[in-house]
Amino acid sequence: MPSHEIDISEESGVRYLHFGSAWVQGAMRIRRPIDLELAYTREMMAGLLMREDWLSSAASPYRILLVGLGAGSLTKFCYWKLSNAHCTVVEINPAVWAAARHYFKLPADDARLTVNIADGVEFLRSDSGTYDYILVDGYDQDAKVGQLDSVAFYESCRARLSLQGVLSANMFGRSRHYEPSLKRLATAFGQRALAFPSCDSGNVVAFAAHGDTIELSLVELRQRAVSLKAATGLDLRPTVTRLEQSHSLPGGVLRL
């Protein structure tokens, strides 16, 4: 098990999680503990735009797997904002889980939330569950991901996705050299992978899909972002605008 330090800091009404270094591993605005404070966490939820029947909390992805807990931001959003979702979390360090419960208002396990203290690679290798949405955001104190960024791990993720499944992965620390990671993801998913342009924080969020082909114009993405905001409060319109301004979607169409 990891032995790195767990540090908590606060500034301007925001509480931060650190793993014994200056790297921010998670954040929570104290007065709005369910909101996604960090831009990349909001972007990791952009998979909700990619399947039409996921646009409301009542019809959200039913089974969600989160690899890496951090401050619990993504877990809390999925648990509280997607009322139909069952969330399974894999976190290797029990001290991170304890910090998320004590300092970041992570709810206790119940019928809709299960936290497993385990290695994400080993969990996916042995798990027999099926998930609609997999979110990968696991880092150590040096902002490294190890085998969570490997073809074998991504293949395990693909094997556990439902026929409409979507995966999102945070590629923080690799914003300037994320191409090898994206290539590994694409290899595992039969070339069905893409990366959004870097966030202001330097994070690159990549997506991969299984099942029916996804093909959405920028107009459709913006319309879905409006619907998602109405349903959950999450505003991904700035993400759609950044996609448009960066000209990162060939022909103005997201294909996955």
Active site residues: 137
Dihedral sign of CA atoms 248, 53, 160, 213 in order: negative
Which alpha helices (H) appear in the chain, and where do they start and end? 39-44, 73-81, 94-103, 120-126, 151-160, 179-188, 218-232, 237-246
Locate 63 and state its tokens: 């089974």
Q: How many residues does the chain have?
A: 256
Rounded distance between C-alpha atoms, residue 167 and residue 65, angstroms: 9
Angle, CA of 43, 45 and 46, to the nearest 5°? 70
For residue 176, the tally of other CB atoms under 10 A from its CB is 9
Whether residue 206 contacts residue 193, with contact meaning beta carbons closer than 8 Å, is answered with yes
Rounded distance between C-alpha atoms, residue 172 and residue 130, angstroms: 26
Residue 48, CA atoms < 13 Å, CB-side half-sphere: 39
Torsional class of 211: left (φ above 0), alpha (ψ -120 to 50), beta (otherwise): left
